Homo-oligomer: A and B are copies of this chain.
Amino acid sequence: MRITKRTNIAMRVLMFCGAHEGVLVTKAMVAEKCNTSESHLAQVIYKLAQLGYLYTQRGRSGGFTLARPMAEIVIGDIFREFESEQHNLECFADGDNTCPLVKGCRLRLTLKEALEAFYNRLDKETLDNLVCGNTALLELFVMPSCHSTRPLRTGTDRG
């Protein structure tokens, strides 16, 4: 199974914003630290904002930041939103399914249940669990050029 690049980028953006909670960060900062292009980032940030995960501020001193507490950002929800942009298998491409076995295939239901098991595991994880107390991640995200009003979250304030 392959995870889409956009889901991957969405997770990096959220982890970066989580590590800089309360600070407006910019695309350029995320692009530098997360090894992604600004054009890919722009689309993902737009979607995350539309979904209510990010607050964005336009203008010269603009940027984006988390729009809700990290403990309320469920990883399963992010994966469901971004992975659903493409169908997982021809079986699930309702309008575009050319599989000749569609009328007699029991695998489709089994796969749906297996995918649900995948997402259910991710539902147990929040952004908080991935970021808070994760000093290794926070060190990777240190931005000397980032004029934060608040320090990076460190220590063991997990959960």
Contact = CB atoms under 8 A, between A and B. Distances in A.
A119 B2 CA distance: 14
Contacts of A114: 118-119, 121-122
A152 B117 CA distance: 34
Given A2-B2, A100-B33, A100-B34, A134 B121 contact: no
A1 B88 contact: yes
A38 interface: no
Copies in the complex: 2
Interface string A37-72: 000000000000000000000000000000000000
A35 B104 contact: no
Nearest to A33: B100
A53 B7 CA distance: 35
A1 B121 CA distance: 14
11 contacts: A1-B1, A1-B2, A1-B83, A1-B88, A2-B4, A3-B111, A8-B90, A11-B107, A75-B110, A107-B130, A117-B117
